[in-house]
Amino acid sequence: MVICDLLFINPDDADAITRMQHRLKTTAGKAIYTTRKCTVEPVFGILKAVMGLRSFLLRGFEAVNGEWRLMCIAWNLKRLHVLTR
């Protein structure tokens, strides 16, 4: 059992939302999730807003996987171009 603000939370019995709320209240959890702002989230924001990836144009797992890989290649080339100026 884990003690969280006078609440006893059994990780096996808690739903996903309760576990995440507890995780975000801890110091370690806050530290981990603050790094998302500078590592992961900007990439998805740029892919959506700047590069126009709002939804996949193709259907089927293999087709979407190929489209996603093309977008990742485009992002990496764009990033490489900026870093090598």
- For the packed helices 16-25 and 27-34, what is the interaxial angle rounded to 10 degrees? 90
pLDDT digit string, tens, across residues 35-65: 777 777 788 888 888 888 888 889 999 999 9
Q: Identify the pLDDT of residue 10.
A: 58
Confidence of residue 27 (pLDDT cuts 50, 70, 90): confident
Q: Are residues 52 and 27 in the same domain?
A: no
Dihedral sign for Cα atoms in the order 31, 32, 34, 38:
positive
Mean residue pLDDT across the chain? 81
- For the packed helices 61-83 and 41-49, what is the interaxial angle rounded to 10 degrees? 100
Q: Are residues 47 and 27 in the same domain?
A: no
The domain containing residue 12 runs over which residues? 2-34
- Model pTM score: 0.53
Q: Are residues 57 and 76 in the same domain?
A: yes
Q: Identify the pLDDT of residue 45.
A: 82
Distance CA 79, CA 85 (A): 10
Confidence of residue 67 (pLDDT cuts 50, 70, 90): very high
Q: Please count the structural domains in the chain.
A: 2
Q: Are residues 46 and 62 in the same domain?
A: yes
